[in-house]
Every structure is written in C-alpha cells, then in structure tokens.
Structure 1
Amino acid sequence: MLKLIIILTTVLVCSSADALAVGALFARPLNGTQTHKPMDIIRYDAVVDIQDHVATTVVNQEIYNHLTTVSEATFIFPLPPGAMIVDMGYEFNGKWYTANVRERQEAQQSYNSKVRRLIDPALLQEWGDNVYKLDIAPINGKSIVKFRITYTEFIPYVAGELRYKHLLRTTGLSPKPLERMTLSARVRSQLSIASVTTPDYQAGSANVVTQHSGNEYTISFGDEAYVPSKDYRIYVKNSRNDVAMQTLTYVPTESDSFGMEPFFATWITPPDEAIQRVPTTWVITADVSSSMNHERMTSLRTALHAFLDNLKTGDRFNIVTFSTLVSSFRPDVIDVTSENIGAAREWVNRLTSMGLTNFYEALKTSLRQSWNLNGKSSNVLVFLTDGEPSYGETRPAVLLDSVQAWNKTNVRIHTIGIALQQYSLLEMLASRNGGTFTHIEEDDEISLLVGERVVSITADELKDPYIDYHGLTVMDVFPNQLPSISATERITQVGRYGVGGEYLVELRATLGQDELSLQRMVLFGSPSLNNRAVARLWARAKINDLLSEILRVGESKELVDAVIDLSIRFGILTKYTALYSDPDVDEPDQPTDVVTEPRPLEVASMSVAPNPVTESAVVSVTVPDAAIGAMIVVRLYDVHGRCIGTVYDGIAYRGLSFRVDAFNVGGSALSAGAYTLVSTVNGVTITVPFIVRL
C-alpha cells in the first residue's frame, strides 16, 4: 500500500510578480525520466471568519493528477503579506491527517528518507516572503488529491476601513476551469458595521452580501466552470465618530501547547473625520532604477503628482530619486508655493529609469535634509521602491543601523514596495522608524494607492499613545512602545496576561493639540471575546521580534532555537520550520538525527541588477571575511526546481560580481519567466529571484 507523505515549507525567495500571483502546480513521476505535468484544480472551497480585525481562512482544494504512474505533487503558492499558516491536513484512503510543525532540516530529511529510494528530490524550497511550497508523495496515477490549509492574519487597515484579500488568482494555475469554486465569509464586529462590500465582484446571484444585524454580515460567492480573473476582496467599514478601542483574548485549554498565561490583542483606530494637521516637512524618495520602466515609470510620475497635490501651505518638501546614483529636485527642502510646485511637476515629467538600486545613499541623502526641529511640526519620509538594494551597501543590518544613526529628528519613515519578492527590509525600516509598510501588487494602481497613502499619512497624528491596563498583569507585550500613528491608521498591541477578570483599559495620547483619554471596561477571558487566533498572532509578533534581531546581529543558536521552539509550540511556519505529516502507522514517524549546530552565520548576500532582466544582469555577491578565498558555486534554477546551468564556479573574493546573459545560460536562451539563483559557500546557501522579461 502506498503511504502518502506530505511536507509544507516556507518559500524564501519568490519568483516574479506573475508567479507571486499564481505560483506553480504540477506532478512528476517518482521514477523514470518523464517531465512534470500540470495538475488541474477541480474544487476550491474557502471559508473566511472575520472577527473585528482578525481573519482566519480555511481553504479546501481537490487537485487531479493526469499522470498514469505513481507521482509526487508540488504546489507553490502565495499568501497575503502578514498571513501565517497555522494548520494543514490532507486526505489519504478516506481519512484526514493533520500535519505537525517540525524543525525544517529534520522535516525535510524525514520526507526525503521516505521517497529517496524512488526519487532524488530536486525542488527548491527557499523562494520568498510568504510564499509556500507543498510536496505530497506518493500519489497514484489518474487520482484526486485533497488537502486543507488554514491561515490567520490581522486584516490590513487602510483609509479607515478593513481590507481583506483572498488570492483567488492562485486558482489560475489550473489548465482547465474549476469544476466548482465557493467562498463564504462571516463578518462580525464589536462596533456597528457601516458597510461590507466586495469591490471586485458585483452583487448578484453568484455573489450575495447579507446583513444579519448591525454587527454581523455574511457573504456567499460561488461558480461552476470558474476561470479566475481577479482576487476576492472584502472591505469592512465601521461606524464611529471617535477613537475606537477593541480587545480580543484567548484562554489556553489543556489540549494547547501554548502555556498557561492567556493572550490578548488590543487595537486602536482614531476617528474618521478629518482633523486639521500640523505643518509637515515632506521628502518622497523614489526608485528610478532600470526595473522602474515603461508603465511602472508612468505610474510613478502620476503618484508623484498625487503627492504634490496633497501638499498644503505651511509644508516644506523635496523629491529624491535614486538608482546607481542619487538625484533630488532641490538640494534641500523648500516651501510649498505655486511656483515651487510647478517646477517640481516639470522635474517629475522628465524622470527616466536607468541603473542599479542604491538604498544606502538614497536614505542618507533623504535623512540629511533640513528637517523640522521643533515639536510642533511633523517630519515624514516616504520611501518607494520595486526592488532590493543592489549597489553600494546592501547588507540589511548595516542599512538599518545607519538609518537609525542618521535619523536624529524622529522622521517617520513610511515604505512602499511595488511587486516585491522580499519585503522584510522595508517592513523593518518602517517599523523601526515609526512608519508603516505598504505592498502594492503589479496589477494594482500604483498612483491610486500611493496617493491614498499620502492622504493617510498627512492626517494629524495620534502622538505618544500608551495603553494602561489598570491592575491587570501584562507581560511579553509587542510592541512594548507604541508608535505614533496618523488619524487613518491603526495601532495593534498583543501580549499575555495573568489572572483574568474585568479591568479598565485606558488609552492616553495627544491628538492634535488636545490630551486624549479613552477608557473602556474589558472582561479578559470573556467567551464572547475568545479567539484562538490571538495566541498565534502573539507568537508571530514574538517570532518577528526574534527574526528582526537575527537580521541585525546574524544567526546564533540561541535566537534560532527560540524561533523554532515558538514555531513548534504554536504551529507556525517560519524559514526554520516545516509542516510534516506521515500516516505510516506501522512505522511511526520519529525525529531524525539532524546535526543542527553549529549553525552558520548567514551574513552573506547576493543581488541581481537590473531585476527583472531584459538582456543581461550583474550579480553581486558579498561574503563574510571567513569565506574569502573559499570556493563558491552559483546556479540558476527554474520554477520547477530544475537546474538550468552554473553561472559561476570559482573563488569567493571581496567585491565579487559577474554578468549573466539571459540569452546564454547553459548554452541556451532563457524564456521569459521566474528563475532562482542559488549560491553556496562555506555551507551557507543564499537564494535570490532572477526574473526574465524579454
């Protein structure tokens, strides 16, 4: 009898914007030389539960293997930024099995040990931020595979409303239309709900939004012979005229592995009405490297014009652009006048794209402007890019520490990423400097969303917010120090607490020129506020804090083991863990003997510029001093994990760079699409996307 094995791993480097939207789905024989073959998605059923600002999504899928032989199925798919997988299961011989989180190397070795006698696994497992790879083996020929994935997220809060996105376009992997597709959602809120809309799908017989009360809605969407064209978005707007504060909790049960202390999540949303803002010094810093070409550059110009539209009398501003070198509209910030705005528009219209991506000099130039020094004015920097640093200083830790040293006037840094494959650096750049990160997909209106962000962050600030839990013992709170936010943004704080009961929760802050105090009695441990996702969201925040420290100081056994321990106890996937299941009852799955220490210090990095690549690109590799003189091999793989060719095999030296010709890799020209460069030196593996657009 075939014994089905399944493994789900975090993908660490994504492919292209298109691949991010669709991923990959295929099967290939466990023995023989036959190539992979696409698989059909037959059924797709999603159930979404939205409680206040927290969403839990369960997706059940059935896929069909067209091959006639025993095969391995691989599914590469994305999730929205910030979403985390908390459960995975599959059906085998009529029974459903649930996977467990294991240390990544251990899980992979267990999986390989089961199938190695039949196949030498060659699929890459490290692809990009919040992209995942699911392997299932062995599966019978001409058979259906059923699996279920559950993920949880804080819903993005934009322009005063919650915006949930379900990546339905992922179903476009199927060569044939889906026989059946359904999505149902339940929306609940402690506050009165003003509206629930689905902007991409009009109301009708296939898409029904039903109001059950002032605090609850349901949504039903379904179709047969379905061909995806858009993602499914749910927008929720609450009725409120003042600062709102809400709390959810979770009290662990005996079956949990979360420990005894309960969890809480509190969020604050300032009022909807516009508040006259204080004068602001603005710098918008925009990427004009080679990848910002054609339609993207047109959208950038429109976005910069939207930025200029939102400037007010009393503000000061400048525009900084960067590629290999850095340019600016004026050497320093200037006053908002009709003449200066007109000159800025003419300068924006002349912008062109060319060169590499120099984050370091762009941020240094921007933060050395004449920012406001008095406490009555605001300082805001908007940093917009579609790539990663590829020229000059590229090490994330050095970039983050340098910005902290340069930012002497408390400039709030908001980052905007366009169709990014990796966005951890931009997230940390924003979070460490009192700002927010926004991800814009390739097919979204860049100008519209950038303009929307500008409107959001020009609103008045809720300054120095502090939440007092008045007698409730709280611990492990994230973030410990709350950042100031604008009047259209949200503050979220998660933590653990001691003995439950009814406590006064008070928000204290400065709003405009007034001191604000908002109080609310909250019953910690109330069944109506109990949501298991809160425990995972707390664990995710703690893991993110540890990962931020790893990015800053490098990997150490203590930090990595702490991440792995939290991941396993709370069932959360990270780059150090994997979900693994094996229903082999005759041969119980035991942890394999995997040597996990000493762990290499991953301070090596690799970049590609330009990326996407139209003809050729320069690959730059930075290695630690200990690796200078060692052998380094760099290979290119396609989206299915096949090695296309070796692009470098030689000595690692300081300043190593080489050119890759898209028309000659392994003796053949590359087709347009998504590839991955993988370099190995001194036991450290680095992966980066290599996108070809011809």
Structure 2
Amino acid sequence: MRAFVIVLLFVLPLAAADSGVLIPGDRNAPDPNILSLEEMALDILIDNGTARVAVREIFANHTGRNLEGTYSFALPVRAVLSDFAVWDELTRIPGVILERKRAGEIYDSLRSQTIDPGILQMGERGAQEAARSSEFTARVTPIPARGTKRVEIEYHERVPVEQFESVLAIPLKPDTYQAQIAGRLDVNLTLLSERRIAGFDGIGKAYPLKISERSPNRIRASYSGTGVALTEDFAVKYSVDPSTADTLRVVTYRNPAQTPPTGFFQASGLFGLGVTPQNSPPRTVIAVFDTSLSMQWNKLDSSFQAYESLLRSLRPQDRFNVVVFNSDVSLFATAVQPANADQVERALAFVKQSRLRGATDLGMALDRALAQAGANAYVVLFTDGGSTQGTVQNARLVSNFNAQWTRLAEQQRPRMFVFAVGDDANLPVLRQVSSANGLFEWARSTEPVDFKIQQFISKIGRFPIGSLQLSVAPAGNTDMVYALEPAVFGGSEQTWIGRYQQPNPSAMFTATGQRNGTAVTLSANAPLPADSQDHPALPRTWAKARVDALLEKIDRDGEDKASIDEIIQLSRKYKFVTPYTSFLAAPRSLLRPRVIRPGDPILRVKTDASIRSVIAIFPFGLIKPLRYLKGEDMWQTRFLAPADTPDGTHHVQLVLKDAQGNAYREEKTFVIASKPPVVRTTLDRTSYHRGETVRLQVSASQTTRTVVARMYGVAPIRLAWNAEARSNTGEFRIPDDLPAGQYRVIVSAEDFARNIGTQEVSLAVVP
C-alpha cells in the first residue's frame, strides 16, 4: 500500500489548525502573491500566571479586484477568546457577545439581505461540539483591490507553574502550509510576578528577544524584524525562585466606580517538592498508543516523543506493557514485562513498526488496558480521543469506562494519565477519563512539547497534594472560590480565584493539604482593598472559572435554565465565548470553527442538513457513495489509491443531492507522495573524545518534515532547519562513560506522507 497525503476541503477552504493565516477564497492554501502578511504585532502581558495576548495582523491584496479570504486561528491549550475585530478602512468593527441562538438569528437575517455579517462561536452545530472546539476560522470580505485588511484577535490564557517553571507558547508555526513570511513582526512582552523571577529565556532561535528591563518582579522584552519566516511558535520559559515555596501570595481587583462594586482576589500557593520517599515501590505502567489514521503528522510525532520519554524513564524494577490501538487492539506482550533496556527497545520498535490505519475504538483500548493493570498501576494514554468505532458517544464512552474502573478492587484501580494531542482532541472525554485519580495534559499540533512531556512524565509515581483547600477569614465576606488547577504536585502552584463583597484592611488566607503523608499549611495576611485596579484580568478569570463549574454541572446533571442563563449573562458581561454564546460582528467577517483535518485517507464531508446523499468520483475510476454518520453529523467513506497512481495533486468530484432532488457538484483535491526522502549526513569530524560535542548537518528532500538522529547511549536528537547553513543541524554530547569504539549514527528523515529515508554514518570514540 502506498503512503499518501490527502487534503479534503468542503464546508470551509481551511483544513488545518494554522494561526493567523488568510487564504484567498479561490485557493486551498495561502498564496503570498495574492494575499501577503504585511505586518504582525503581538502584545503579551503575563500577570501572575494569567497571560493576555493581543494579535494584530495586516494583510495586503496584490490583485486588482476585491477579494474574500478565510482567516484561521488555533487557540492554545488553556486559552479563552476575549475579543476579535476587523477594520473597514479606518473603522474598527468589534465583536459583541450574544446568546448563541439570537446571534444565529441575526446572522441569518443579515445574510438574507446580502449584508455580510460575522459570527464567532465555539462549534458549528451545537453546544456539545462547542465544548470540544478550540479552532476558529473567519470569512473576511471585502479585502479591497490593491488595499489592506486589518484583523485583531485577543485571548487570555492561564500559565501554570510546574517544577518552579512556566512556559507560554503562542501559535505561529504552520501545521500544514508552508511558513508565512511577515513583512514586519513586532513582539512586546511584559512579565509581572509577585514571586521573585529566577530565570527568563526565549525558546527557539527564530525570534531572539531583547530584554530592556530585568528586575526581581518584572521582565520587559521585545523583538522586531522584517521579512520574518514564522517557522516556530513564539515561546518563552521562565522560573520562580524556589525559596518562595510553601508561601501564599494574594493579588486583588476592585473598581469602586462599577455598580455594584465587586472585589476579586487571586490566592496562589507554591508548594515545595517536599521529601521524596526513598525506595519507592515498583510501578506497573500500561502505555496505550493510538495508531488510527487521525493521528498522522504532528500528533503522531508528539505522541511518540512522549511515549519514548515514558519508556526511558522506567526503572529496572518497574513493569510495563504496551497497547496499540486503532480499529483493532494489539498488545506488546501477553503480560507485563520487566522494564530492562532490551524490553524497552523492543517496545519502542513495536510502536514504530505499527501501521497507521483504520478507525479509533477507544472504548476497546481502555478495556484492554484496565485488564492489564495491577497494584500501583498507571495507564498512560496517548491519543486525540476521537472514537469512531465501537462506542462513539462521549457520555456512553465515559459511563462504560467509569463502570469498569469502579468494578475493580480499590487497590487494583490504575491511575489514568492522559496525554492528549492535536487541536481537534476530544477534550471532554479525555479529561473525564483522567479524573480517575490521574492527570491530564494536552498539546496542540504544532507547539513545543518538550516542557510538557518532561513535566507529565515526572509525575508518574508521584502523588499530588491531597485534600487541598483554601479558607479565608473572616468567613462570609468571600464566595464562589474556585481552584484553577485540577491537581497540584510538589514544585507546582495552585491558584484560587474568588470574590469579596466588602473591603477589609486585613484578611487571613490559609491553604491546607497533605504532601507525602505530612500536613502542609500555607498562609498569608492580605488586605481586600476598596480600590485596587492593578490586575484587571481577575474579573474575567473568575467568570471563566464560574462558567467552567456550571458546564461541569451540566455535563453531570443535564441542562437547566438557571445554569444556562447564568453562563450567558457572565459571558456577555465579561466578554468571552462559551458553548452557549457567540461573538457577532456586522458586516465584514464570518467566524466559525474548523470541521475537517487534512492527511486522513478517509473522505469526510460535512454538509448542509438538506443534503440526502453524497457520491465521490475519484480520478482513477473509483466511484463510492458516502455513508452518513448520524452521531457525528458527517458523511464518510474510505478509499485506497492504486499502486500505479503517480505522485502529485489529484482531484475528487463530490456529487450532492438534497431532499428536493437538486444536485450539486464540488471539486476537491488530495496529494499522493510515495518516494522516501533522500538523506545526506555530514559530521564535523569522524573521531571524538568522551565529553566532546558531535555536530551534524543533514540535507534532505524538500518534502521532509522531521529529521532525527540516533546513536547508542544518547537520547534521540531532533534536527532543526538552519537557514544560515541551508540544512538541518543538531548536536549531541558524547557521554562521559561511553566505552571507546566505533559507533553508528542513524539519521532518519520522514516526509508528510510518512515515507522514511535513512542514512548511517560512523564515528569513533577514542580514549
């Protein structure tokens, strides 16, 4: 069977979670000869763990006609969209929050009058899909001939502290398309912290920051460049002083001019690592790896990187097994195995040799994983959570899993660790699975994942701070206090957000919990001021936490009018999108979430509700009807390209019929790629002493997407494109204890169709 890449586009011209992209209406990909990104500005404020990111982009139309374009933005993991606007010449047209149903009615009315409105909502069809979506697209029109169009978007994001460190990543790197080139890029960042800032660095080399202010509690940095290729996400990493651990910090906001004035507080407790128990008992780890077709490209890369890190973190006394699943389930071994070096290498090869194919039967994979678990067991799940076979409904899937998990004897119930991947990950299901005494982490398709993987793996075998709660004295003056982190470990920070009714010159905040079986107490005495306006993000942070609590209640008990009305009221007052509300702007832009993804050899089409049949006509003579999936409101069929189909772009015709018998025809494209990349590797020399650095330079075919080098005794090295060297470069250090001798460096290059080319080079380690 040949490897291939498929790009299928139906309802929207976009099929990938790329951020800040504007695609011409008659194109399937960005074309800088038609629409180019002239200017991009990022204004970033990180205020005690809450980031506000404002993105401003100006696109230029290089044609002599007015254009329509589709703008795309993929929100980061913890982000909530708080503003968007487009400009009509010198007029800014902001979005306003409306009830979802009312926004739809106004939108339909304006559209029927040929006025081009805009609507931004989480989900295309309803609140259930809305709870899952983090991707948005916008139809922007008109983009004037030889003119420009300005688009603005703003979001807020919680930035957690893990092992005294934090990472903020802003999506700029493309998921599918080639990197955009910004005519000018300006970045301004301010970091504020009540705790002493111990370190601050940019991640990556594409956007080197210039630090203009560095003090114990404030960092100011900036970057400006012209002709900047957006080849990386913009990311920074900073750390807080560990000496501030086991203390509580409180910040407040209250505007006395508001009616009625309401105060908000944020209490943040940073917990020390504590004493790590010696000779901790052996662990049983069941790794569950998704190899269904939806896991292609970046999702597979991130999952395997996390999976490899997990296996290499195991100790010889640990035991493990691996469950690989798609439409079928395969086990690495019939029973758990000792985690020695040989078994670990065999388990890595077991996943590498697995083929991506079929649908996703998540329920069956969870059943098999639970059957493998034993005492002190951990099930570690790597998936996007999109179940398409067996049990596919979220509520039933979670109910079945919970029933089976609780049927196990208490000491046999594994802790469920979930590493979700992809912008389209099924977050509601995966979060609920991880609530079985486990941990949840989510990585977008393109973001840097090293930090998240490191923190995720480090918590396996550790226990969070138990029975953690916050009290405020005097009681009765504060209400609706919410913890923002589901679980907190030593070296991490829990943040509580709440309201206070009356100013108070002195309030006592006390956090209590259990760390490694020992009681821990953090306390702080802080005022609740009548006028405190230095932290304006606190009201929205509190409102978002309140809405999250109401959504959890709805998931658990079903919808009720009071909860929905409160969600709508909070969303409108504090201006952020929820599953029950929408942004509406008239008359220039249409925003809605992405509904399909590229690279899946399943043809999936989302249509209007009036469509009754869909037939696909492929260029190699195959004609296939699509089957309607009621649960997903999607048409689907599967196909294979014949072995003699030439590489390149091919077209598929879609014939649609509605209830009245009217027929419609759409033409879409897919790409065939079958030849593996050609790899050429150069070392800076051929012999090295222990402790010296080996520098590699690798050239590969243009279609290559990842280059990885491996050598015995050294962790895998991911090579990155180096524009100055015009090749992929990387380096590693010869371990101090590596025996002298001849070693092979195996360099693998993988293209977008998952074809793999390799080359081996030799080096000598001399005494």
TM range (shorter): 0.7 to 0.9
Deviation of the 1:182 alpha carbon: 0.5
Deviation of the 1:472 alpha carbon: 3.8
Deviation of the 1:548 alpha carbon: 3.7
Provide the residue aligned with 1:601 in structure 2: none
Provide the residue aligned with 1:354 in structure 2: 357
Is contact 1:240-1:272 (8 Å) kept? no
Provide the residue aligned with 1:53 in structure 2: 49
Is contact 1:191-1:215 (8 Å) kept? yes
Q: Hey, what's the Cα distance between the residues in 2 that align with 1:412 and 1:15?
A: 41
After superposition, give the CA deviation of every residue in 1:424-475 in whole Å (9 maximum; x if it has no partner).
Answer: 2355225633444323344567688545521244445322222222324332
Q: How does 1:10-49 map to 2 (within 5 A)?
A: 19-22=16-19, 24-26=21-23, 38-49=34-45
Deviation of the 1:544 alpha carbon: 2.6
Is contact 2:256-2:530 (8 Å) kept? no
Structure 1 vs Structure 2 CA RMSD: 4.5
Check 1:133–1:557 CA distance in 2 against 1; reply closer, same or farther (3 A cut).
Answer: farther
Deviation of the 1:286 alpha carbon: 1.5
Check 1:472–1:75 CA distance in 2 against 1; reply closer, same or farther (3 A cut).
Answer: farther
Pick aligned residue for 2:581 from 567, 577, 580? 577
Q: How does 1:119-518 map to 2 (within 5 A)?
A: 126=123, 129-137=133-141, 140-169=144-173, 177-201=181-205, 207-241=209-243, 242-252=245-255, 254-255=257-258, 260-271=261-272, 275-276=276-277, 278-279=280-281, 280-292=283-295, 303-312=306-315, 315-331=318-334, 333=336, 344=347, 347=350, 351-372=354-375, 379-408=377-406, 409=410, 411-426=414-429, 428-429=431-432, 432-443=435-446, 450=453, 452-473=455-476, 474-479=478-483, 483-501=486-504, 502-518=506-522
SS of aligned partner of 2:204: coil
Deviation of the 1:527 alpha carbon: 6.1
Q: How does 1:679-694 map to 2 (within 5 A)?
A: none
Is contact 2:571-2:581 (8 Å) kept? yes
Deviation of the 1:492 alpha carbon: 3.2
Is contact 1:28-1:67 (8 Å) kept? no
**Counterpart code for 1:393:** T
| Structure 2 unaligned blocks of 5 or more | 1-10, 125-131, 589-594, 617-622, 641-650, 656-665, 672-751, 755-767
Is contact 1:383-1:416 (8 Å) kept? yes
Q: Hey, what's the Cα distance between the residues in 2 that align with 1:444 and 1:387?
A: 19
Is contact 1:458-1:486 (8 Å) kept? no
Provide the residue aligned with 1:659 in structure 2: 637
Deviation of the 1:299 alpha carbon: 6.7
Check 1:246–1:434 CA distance in 2 against 1; reply closer, same or farther (3 A cut).
Answer: farther
Q: Hey, what's the Cα distance between the residues in 2 that align with 1:672 and 1:647?
A: 18
Q: Hey, what's the Cα distance between the residues in 2 that align with 1:38 and 1:61?
A: 16
Q: Hey, what's the Cα distance between the residues in 2 that align with 1:50 and 1:151?
A: 12
| Structure 1 unaligned blocks of 5 or more | 1-12, 30-34, 373-377, 585-606, 622-629, 638-644, 674-691
Q: How does 1:107-118 map to 2 (within 5 A)?
A: 107-114=103-110, 116-118=112-114
**Counterpart code for 1:209:** I
Is contact 1:160-1:272 (8 Å) kept? no
**Counterpart code for 1:518:** L
Is contact 1:466-1:508 (8 Å) kept? yes
After superposition, give the CA deviation of every residue in 1:346-378 in whole Å (9 maximum; x if it has no partner).
Answer: 655654443321111222232344443xxxxx5
Q: Hey, what's the Cα distance between the residues in 1 that align with 2:488 and 2:554?
A: 27
Provide the residue aligned with 1:85 in structure 2: 81
**Counterpart code for 2:380:** V
Deviation of the 1:287 alpha carbon: 1.1
Q: TM-score, normalised by structure 2?
A: 0.68
Provide the residue aligned with 1:599 in structure 2: none
Q: Hey, what's the Cα distance between the residues in 2 that align with 1:40 and 1:654?
A: 36
Aligned residue pair count:
609
Provide the residue aligned with 1:677 in structure 2: none
Provide the residue aligned with 2:544 in structure 1: 540
**Counterpart code for 2:268:** W
Is contact 2:24-2:68 (8 Å) kept? yes
Bigger-Rg structure (1/2): 2
Is contact 1:672-1:693 (8 Å) kept? no
SS of aligned partner of 1:364: helix
Deviation of the 1:52 alpha carbon: 1.5
Q: Hey, what's the Cα distance between the residues in 2 that align with 1:295 and 1:86?
A: 28
Provide the residue aligned with 1:595 in structure 2: none
Deviation of the 1:54 alpha carbon: 0.8
Q: 326-335 or 55-64, which moves further after superposition?
A: 326-335
Check 1:693–1:221 CA distance in 2 against 1; reply closer, same or farther (3 A cut).
Answer: same
Pick aligned residue for 2:102 from 100, 106, 114? 106
After superposition, give the CA deviation of every residue in 1:490-541 in whole Å (9 maximum; x if it has no partner).
Answer: 4333333333432222221221242211222232348678422222122222
Q: Hey, what's the Cα distance between the residues in 1 that align with 2:633 and 2:74?
A: 34
SS of aligned partner of 2:392: coil
After superposition, give the CA deviation of every residue in 1:628-651 in whole Å (9 maximum; x if it has no partner).
Answer: xx98747799xxxxxxx9965889
Is contact 1:472-1:499 (8 Å) kept? no
Is contact 2:97-2:576 (8 Å) kept? yes
Deviation of the 1:388 alpha carbon: 0.6
Q: Hey, what's the Cα distance between the residues in 2 that align with 1:124 and 1:37?
A: 28
After superposition, give the CA deviation of every residue in 1:649-688 in whole Å (9 maximum; x if it has no partner).
Answer: 8897999985254864416874248xxxxxxxxxxxxxxx
Q: Hey, what's the Cα distance between the residues in 2 that align with 1:219 and 1:261?
A: 34
Q: Hey, what's the Cα distance between the residues in 2 that align with 1:203 and 1:654?
A: 41
After superposition, give the CA deviation of every residue in 1:576-616 in whole Å (9 maximum; x if it has no partner).
Answer: 322234599xxxxxxxxxxxxxxxxxxxxxx99xx765544
Q: Hey, what's the Cα distance between the residues in 1 that align with 2:52 and 2:318?
A: 42
Deviation of the 1:419 alpha carbon: 2.4
**Counterpart code for 2:390:** G
After superposition, give the CA deviation of every residue in 1:385-440 in whole Å (9 maximum; x if it has no partner).
Answer: 14511111011112222333333346432221222413323552256334443233
Q: TM-score, normalised by structure 1?
A: 0.74
**Counterpart code for 2:251:** L
